[in-house]
Every structure is written in structure tokens, then in C-alpha cells.
Structure 1
Amino acid sequence: MATLLFLPSFVLSFRRPPVKIINLACTISRHYTYTQVICTNLSIYIFSEEQYMYDLVVLGGGSGGLAAAKQAAELGARVAVFDYVTPSPKGTKWGLGGTCVNVGCIPKKLMHQAALLGEAVHEAAAFGWVIPDIKSVQINWEALSVAVQNHIKSVNWVTRVDLKNKKVEYINALGYFKDPHTIGGIMKNGEENVVTAKNILIAVGGRPKYPDIPGAIENGITSDDIFSLSQPPGKTLIVGAGYIGLECAGFLNGLGYNTTVMVRSIILRGFDQQMANIIAEEMEQRGVHFIYQAKPKLIKKEADGILVHWVDKLGQVQKDVYDTVLFAIGRRALTKDLKLENAGVICIPDDDKIDAVDEQTNVPHIYAVGDILHKKPELTPVAIHAGKLLSKRLFANSSETMDYTNIATTVFSPLEYGCVGLSEEQANIIYGEDNIEIYHAYYKPTEFFIPQKDNSHCYLKVVTLRNNDQKVIGMHFIGPNAGEVIQGFATAIKSNLTFPILKSTVGIHPTSAEELIRVFITKRSKMDPKPQSCCS
């Protein structure tokens, strides 16, 4: 039931809604617990038993937000998702699903696979395959791009259908806070869609940064654009040597395009630096060019391509012409468009990210997951897991929280790098060099014997404590299918794996993964970690 209060004289009751008012000019405003109808000399308040329109409103239709929304809906919550993709400076836009589906993990892995297949075609002859005119084998960029985009569009469609089936309302608008419990968003027709929610989840993720130099935005692209280019990228300069930069450089070089990586300081910041440098050496051996300790100064469009001026390590200005310049210098959190000040949510000034405790911001009913969290891993599976756990705590009385330690990841460089736990540098800082043991080895994968492939960069190491149980605190692996290899070991580390248990595990032969349980040489011993025989 709803109550109508006529001021100043009397009270009537009606079933709600609707309430029809005849011959009165009125304005209507919605509040948390009621709708106020203001007419001439008359105010009518319709009180609702349902305080909010939704139990949860999610801002952002990426992996973390969608996972939380669907989990909450399955637990009986009323859920809505606001999602809107602002086009990149080049005009690239995409559908529901966030960075991972549209311009991240999925297209990256598909193009990485395309590059590996090209390599395999050239190796197939050694295994007996007859391939006529193998020298003419080349990639059709347009066909690859169309295939990748068609797959992405199919995922976009399935995602929308999944939301509908789970009764999650999808609102295609850029959501922002009007107050701590009210979200507004401008729809395509120009109308503002305003909703109220008991709980709000911020999961808007981030977008690539551009350097503050002349011509960067006008003449450069980012990972937002590379996967849907209608024309081949040609000779490409990639500015930035994080995992996105190296992955893009790896598949572009593998597809046959002249590729250069400009490195400002170090390779793969945040990763084990020995492993990072091995990856760079492997890529250089495959034909990727590296310009170290350099920063771009000017990007200029000219008749024959894009002219890039950069400052080298000696302070001298160098220049070259490229067909494509791709910036991979980091990402910015998309929190500024949310009008967080209207809700009282505090961001870290340096990076516009949110410092949340168990995904809860400084405003108790407002939460955050994914790439916008301060000093948390920017990884799709992290956002998904955190989002699901949050919804279970909110709507299923769960007490389980997200554990952000020992999260495995893989750099999909041409020779992949998978890792979990601490790097050697981190272990030294936390425990002290004298208190850790590093086991390491080079190895030769079976598939490298025919044809004879260089295995000088197939390398692994296991970081352990030196105390009695020798707890494993880090594992690092460079080689084929590194992501598949490291996934199972991640579970072992989460289960407090020790080195004796690792050594007591029987391997699967012949695999590259078994090399991690065969390792026995320590760095401390100074023994040569070169490959062992295949069955020793």
C-alpha cells in the first residue's frame, strides 16, 4: 500500500501505482523513499515500501562489473548495469564486455595465436608437411582483423543475452553520481535515466594514456585501436615496454611487420627483471628492434608516413618515419567522469584510483573492483573473482574476501612468460638475499628438436625460502604455452607448496611443465643450469 498525504488538510490511501491527478499542473521529483508531486498549493507524497529501485547498480560493463551483476542477480537481487564506451581519439568504439573482450585479452590472444601459426607453417616442412611455395606465405591483415572482430561481436551479443536471461537491466548510458544513492545517465535519445540503488559498484576500468607531446593524439593510436585497423599497420613504433607493448610488438613482428619498441627505462616494470630481459633478448633475436632509454618528443604526419622525433640516452634528438605509432605507456582510471564528489567517494590524487578495503570505498554502500583499485593487479580474472565474492557477501551472507596475493599471470610474448608469486627482487627485499634460495634451469622443449630451434631463452626459476620446509614463494617460466604451464602451479602455491613437495611430484613426460619439478640447481651453487638430457 502507498499513502497519499494532501497538505495541509487530510490523508487518503490508495494502492500504488499509479495515481491519476486530473486538472492540476504538477511537477514530480523522485526521492529515496517517496515520489513528491508538487501542484498549486498542494504537495502529495507517495510513500513506497521499496526504498530503492535496485539492490545493486553497477557502473561499468566490463569483466568485473558483469561478474558481480550476474552473481547478484542469481542470488535474487534487483540489478542494473550502466555501460557506455566513449570512442577513442581515432573513433574506435565497441560493445558490451569491457576492455578484455573488446580491446584486450581476447583479441590479443587471437592475434598472438595468428603469429604462432605463421611460425608453425614455416616449421611444418621439417615435420614432413609438403607446403608449396612456402616463401609466399604471408598474413592477410584485413581477413585477420575481420575474423577477430566477428568473434568479439558474437561475445558482445551473448553477453547482452546473458544479462537479459539473468534479469539484469542493461542501461546504455555513461553513469554518474547525482548523490550517494542516485545514479544518472544520458541515453542516446538525450533523456536522462535516473535510478536509485541501495548498493553501488564502481567497475569502470581504465583507458590507455597518451604522452603529453605535440601530435601524439592526432597521429598515434593505442591498444584501443590496433585490433580493428582496417589497413595493415606496416612499419610500427610501439612506445612503451610493459606487457601490452611487448605483446603487441610480438604479434606484429610475428605477422611480418617491421616493429620497434621504444623503452623509456626498463622492460616489464613490476615483473622479475631477469625474466623480463630474457624476453627482450628473445624478441630482439626474432627481429623486434628496441630503442632503449629514449622518449618521444614530437609526432608529425608527413606525406610518406608519421615522422617521430625522440630524445636518446645521450640527450640527442633522433628521428624516423613509421606507418603506425602505438602508445602503450600505461592506463588511466575512468573515475573523473563519475562525479564521485557528489557521493563523497575519495580517490588517490596521483592516479585517480580508489583505495578500497575489501572492495569497500570510504562510503560504506559504495564498492569498487577491477583496474580502478589502487595498487591492485590490473587483471581480468582478478576483477571477476573480486566481483563475484563481493556479491556473495552482499546478498548471500558470505564472509569470504578477495585474496590479492599469489595471482598468476602470463605475458603473451612470442616465447611466453608465466609467473606466480614473488619476483627474485621482491623476495630479496622482503626476506633478505641470505634467506631465499633460487633454483633455476635452462631447458629444451621436445618440439624444439624438429626443426632444431634455438632454446637459449627457455628458462625457469623457483624462488623458495631457505628454512626447513623451503616454502615456494615464486615460480617463473619462459617457454611455449607458459600460461597453461603456470596455471596449475598457481594452485599449488596457494596451497603452500614447498620445494620438497615439488620435487616429490611425478612429471608428465615429455612436457615443458615437468621441467619445473626437475629443477635442482641453485644460483648459490654457481653450477651451470644448461639443459639436462631429456630423461635424466
Structure 2
Amino acid sequence: MGSSEGGSGSYDYDVIVVGGGSGGLACAKRCAKHGKKVTLLDFVKPSPYGTKWGLGGTCVNVGCIPKKLMHYGALLGESAGDARSLGWTTFGKEDGKEHPTHDWETLVMSVQNYVRGLNFGYRTELREQSVDYKNEFGVFVDEHTIECTNKRGEKKNITGEYIVFAPGGRPRYLGVPGDKELCITSDDIFSLQKSPGKTLVVGASYIALECAGFLTAFGYDTYVMARSIFLRGFDQEVAEHIGSYMERHGTKIIKRCVPVKFEKVEDESSPNHGMIACTYKNLDFEFETTEYFDTVLLAVGRDACTTEVNLDAAGIKLNEKTGKVYVDEYDQTSTRNIFAIGDAVDTRQELTPVAIKSGERLADRLFGGRPEFKMDYLEVPTTVFTPLEYGCVGMSEELAVETYGMDKLEIYLSFLRPLEWKTNQEFHDAKKGVEHREDNSVFFKMITLKEENERVIGLHYVGPHAGEVIQGFAVAVKMKATKADFDDTVGIHPTVAEEFTMLKVTRSSGMDPTKRGC
């Protein structure tokens, strides 16, 4: 797995890291900490819309960080009714009724100021740790050589004993007329200078639903066009629960449809002048419909950045179907001295903490005297920041049934309304025509394996602060906790998370899992 002794020898660097996202940064800094001579290449090609950004990769610039800030901003608006019910009265009025108001430009400026601060911080940190940062695009020449091209088009070759490939991914386009010319993606939404107006979100992934959720909360007329199921790969009972909640609370769902083309309305006499005409097809009945939007956001998946870097020259093998790099359990590619981490690796979770931990452990294996310090990719917790947040760790019910069979499982369920929402029970959102805080919309699911003393193999929670709730329980699931372990733990009252310590109703019992009382 490499040696911790010696310098760069006949190479320019001990390690070349290609990609300045979460995984690449973590690996480069850890390699430098082990005394190695390291360079990190990072170059962002602008999106078709023209958006570009600084060091830090998807998460910092166009992913987790701006998404969470916008989601938090949306939650503040959702909490306006709660605040009013508890005595706060400083809200604007519209049509004689009290409503919170929102300014898109202020939101974007605040989010982007924070992101730019992170970009600067990463550059400073690399300099302080003696990592040679190059804002250049890297292409493989051979297994030890990278051709670097800077923003002026100047080229230079550098060599490294080891190369860590961590290029990340970029949003996918549909391949229909007008998509790249007229649509935006998650690369663009967080820095969009003008308010999006009436918006179509194409896709049913977590990115699609998260963006649609905060756009609806900010007051924009928002539509989601879903080809098939919501949140593929996640628990489908939970996914439907979230989708139904969003639809009841103002997001319009167009099901079983796909766009055919996008066109700009140029006719100045048209009431839709300047808008985007989306022609879409219903997959069940094959008829086509045209609807008009101010903004179309595509969230139909992501592709690994593996197509323009000449991987063949280094002998790196890809999964042709996914476009992702094959690696072994030590993150080693088909070429001995080249390793790959992060979103461009086949079968790995596309999650920032996974990339970071993978990068750090790779550096420790190569140079830290821990050759067997492998990354464990099982039971990785995650959270989807939809209006009702969803946190989970372990198996979905579908995967558990497929793996073990329904007769081997005991599944516990509960629905409730958090205490904080009960004070707002009488407040209705007049614009959406629904109760602002619905009863029994918070959902708990625990999947256990009977033959292993009801070991918890899947934990799912839909409700406030889902990431904070699941993070702690993820340790228990990782340590192979059983249902009895959860039952023996005293809950913190009054919290929603305590419900996991007192689950009683099973799916097999047929009893009502809705909660009553505090």
C-alpha cells in the first residue's frame, strides 16, 4: 500500500490529487500532514448557463452548504405561523391577512457571501499546510503524468508517484431540444440573480424535491415533473409520505411525464412572452402538453467527471454503464499507483462525509502506517432536506424484504405531531388551503431482524431536525443495537427523537400506529 519513507524521488510530487472537492481536499491535507509533497488540481468548467465557482467542490459551492442554508431560510418562513401562535406579531400583510414576505436577492447574496468565505478559507488552509494548489485542469498522460492546463490555456506536465482521482460529478441534462440553452440545474439555482418565478423542477431525486420544497416555501409557483417514483433507492413508504405532504402543501406534482422539448416564447404579443414553453409527454397515454414557466430546473441525475481526462492513457477501467471508476476495497483503481475516491467511484454513496473519510483513510493507509485502515461503506446515515426532513441509516424496507424476506422482519411504526407544532394546530395556510401543521405527519420506522434478537437493520425518521436525530442513532445501528437496546434507553422528554425508545406498534399487528397524547 505504499511507503511512509523517502521523498518524491524522480517525481515532481509524492501525490497528485485531481479534484478540489471534499474528498480531494481531505486527502491532500492528510497526505501533507504525513510529510508528503502534494499538489491539488481543481478547475471548474462553467455550466451551460454560465455559472462557475471556487475551490471546494459540489458540496460547498452548489450542493450541501447552499442547499441547507436555503432550506433553513424556507423553514423560517414555515415557522411564521408557529411564531404567531406563541405571541410574535411582526409579519407583513397581504390582502389584509398576515403573511411573511421573502426577498430572493437577499437570500442569494447571503448564501453566496458565505460560500465565497469558504472558498477563501480552503485556499488559505492548503497554503498553510504546504499543499501546492493549482487552479488547472488535469488530463492523464500516463500512470504517473498529468497534463495541467490553466485558465489562459497554457499547458504543463507534472509527475507524481501516486495519483488520487477525485473529480466529482456534474448534473445531467435530458438530451432534448433546448435543455442546455434554456434550463438550469443545481449548479445554477443557488446563485441565480433573479427570482425564479413560476418554476418547473424536472426529476424526482432528493435534489429535485429539496429544491422544489424551498421554492414552494418562498412563495414561488412550483411544479415537479416526475418520470416515475420519488427518491429512488430510499424507503418508498417514506418517499410517498414526503411527496404527498409536499403536494398537499403547495407543490404541484406532474406524474408519469417527461419533457420533449423546451422553447423560448419570442412572440411579443403572447401573454407568455419571455417564458419557457415546456412540451412534455405522458408516459401512460402518450399525449403531449405544453406549459409555460419562468424557470426550468433539471434534477435528473448526475454524471461522473470521467469523460475528458483521458483515463485510458493511465489504464484506469470504468464501469461503462455508469461512467464511474472501478476500485477495490482499498480504493485502488486498475492501475497500481492510482486511487479514486468520492462521487466518481462506482458503487460508492455520493455523500460528502463518505468522500472525506475515504480520502483521509486512503492517506493514512499510504503514508500513516495503517495499511488495513479501510473505509466501511455499510450503514452510512444520510438526510434529505425536503420540507419534512428525512433521515435514515441502514436498509430500506424494500431492501430488507429482498435480502431477508418479510417473515424474518419485525417492523415498528409510529406517526405523531411534535409538541412545537401543537400550539399552531388551529392555524391554516389560507393560500394553500391546508392545515399549516398537520397531525401525524412525523413518521418513524424501525426495521429489525427477528433471528438476530431483533437487531436494528434500518432506521427511518421523517420530521424536524432529521439529520440531528439520525446522527446519534446511526452509532447505535453501526454497533448492531437491538430493539431491546433502544427500549432500555431512557428518552429525553419532550422531544420527537424519544419516540425511537418507545416504539410498540408493528406492521404485522395491524394496529393503528398514530400517536395520541404527549
Give TM-score scaled by structure 1 length.
Answer: 0.89
Alpha-carbon distance change, 132 to 98 in structure 1, aligned in 2, over 3 angstroms: closer
1:80 and 1:196 map into 2 onto residues whose CA distance is 10
Partner of 1:96: 55
Given candidates 148, 156, 159, the residue that maps to 1:185 is 148
Given candidates 24, 27, 30, the residue that maps to 1:71 is 30
CA-CA distance at 1:187 after TM superposition: 1.5
Instruction: Work out whether residues 417 and 441 of structure 2, in 8 Å CA contact, stay in contact via their aligned partners in 1.
Output: no
Show the 5 A alignment for 1:317-328.
317-328=288-299
Partner of 2:421: 448
Partner of 2:138: 175
For the residue of structure 1 that corresponds to 2:184, the secondary structure is coil
Instruction: Work out whether residues 139 and 309 of structure 2, in 8 Å CA contact, stay in contact via their aligned partners in 1.
Output: yes
Show the 5 A alignment for 1:421-436.
421-436=394-409
Structure 2: gaps of 5 or more residues:
1-6, 266-272, 426-436
Instruction: Work out whether residues 421 and 473 of structure 1, in 8 Å CA contact, stay in contact via their aligned partners in 2.
Output: yes
CA-CA distance at 1:253 after TM superposition: 0.4
CA-CA distance at 1:189 after TM superposition: 3.4
Partner of 1:413: 386
1:249 and 1:524 map into 2 onto residues whose CA distance is 35
Q: Over residues 394-420 of structure 1, what are the superposed CA-to-partner deviations in whole Å (9 max), with x where a residue is unaligned?
A: 011112101111000111001101000
1:136 and 1:454 map into 2 onto residues whose CA distance is 19
2:385 and 2:154 map into 1 onto residues whose CA distance is 43
Show the 5 A alignment for 1:260-299.
260-299=223-262
Which amino acid in structure 2 is aligned with residue 68 of structure 1? Answer: C
1:350 and 1:485 map into 2 onto residues whose CA distance is 36
Partner of 1:219: 182
Show the 5 A alignment for 1:342-361.
342-357=313-328, 358-361=330-333
CA-CA distance at 1:467 after TM superposition: 1.8
Q: Quick one: higher RCO (CA 8 Å, sep 6+), 1 or 2?
A: 2
Partner of 1:85: 44
Show the 5 A alignment for 1:1-80.
50-80=9-39
Given candidates 480, 485, 488, the residue that maps to 1:501 is 485
CA-CA distance at 1:517 after TM superposition: 1.2
2:332 and 2:132 map into 1 onto residues whose CA distance is 23
Structure 1 residue 115 and structure 2 residue 88: aligned? no
Instruction: Work out whether residues 440 and 515 of structure 2, in 8 Å CA contact, stay in contact via their aligned partners in 1.
Output: no
CA-CA distance at 1:520 after TM superposition: 1.1
Which amino acid in structure 2 is aligned with residue 337 of structure 1? Answer: E
Structure 1 residue 489 and structure 2 residue 459: aligned? no
For the residue of structure 1 that corresponds to 2:325, the secondary structure is coil
Given candidates 256, 279, 291, the residue that maps to 1:309 is 279
Given candidates 362, 384, 399, the residue that maps to 1:390 is 362
CA-CA distance at 1:485 after TM superposition: 0.4
For the residue of structure 1 that corresponds to 2:322, the secondary structure is coil
CA-CA distance at 1:438 after TM superposition: 0.4
Partner of 1:248: 211
CA-CA distance at 1:459 after TM superposition: 0.8
Q: Over residues 88-112 of structure 1, what are the superposed CA-to-partner deviations in whole Å (9 max), with x where a residue is unaligned?
A: 0011000000000000000000000
Greater C-alpha radius of gyration: 1
Partner of 1:105: 64
1:187 and 1:451 map into 2 onto residues whose CA distance is 56
Instruction: Work out whether residues 279 and 457 of structure 1, in 8 Å CA contact, stay in contact via their aligned partners in 2.
Output: no
Kindly report the root-mean-square deviation, in angstroms, between the aligned alpha carbons of the 2 structures. 1.2
Instruction: Work out whether residues 443 and 515 of structure 1, in 8 Å CA contact, stay in contact via their aligned partners in 2.
Output: no
% same residue: 47
CA-CA distance at 1:519 after TM superposition: 0.7
For the residue of structure 1 that corresponds to 2:308, the secondary structure is helix
CA-CA distance at 1:468 after TM superposition: 5.0
Instruction: Work out whether residues 271 and 423 of structure 1, in 8 Å CA contact, stay in contact via their aligned partners in 2.
Output: yes
1:163 and 1:500 map into 2 onto residues whose CA distance is 47
Partner of 1:11: none
For the residue of structure 2 that corresponds to 1:473, the secondary structure is strand
CA-CA distance at 1:455 after TM superposition: 2.7
Partner of 1:160: 123
Structure 1 residue 141 and structure 2 residue 107: aligned? no
Instruction: Work out whether residues 235 and 259 of structure 1, in 8 Å CA contact, stay in contact via their aligned partners in 2.
Output: yes
For the residue of structure 1 that corresponds to 2:407, the secondary structure is helix
Give TM-score scaled by structure 2 length.
Answer: 0.93
CA-CA distance at 1:132 after TM superposition: 4.8
2:171 and 2:85 map into 1 onto residues whose CA distance is 42
Give the number of equivalent residue pairs: 487
Out of 442-451 and 268-277, give the one that drifted further: 442-451
1:269 and 1:455 map into 2 onto residues whose CA distance is 26
Partner of 2:270: none
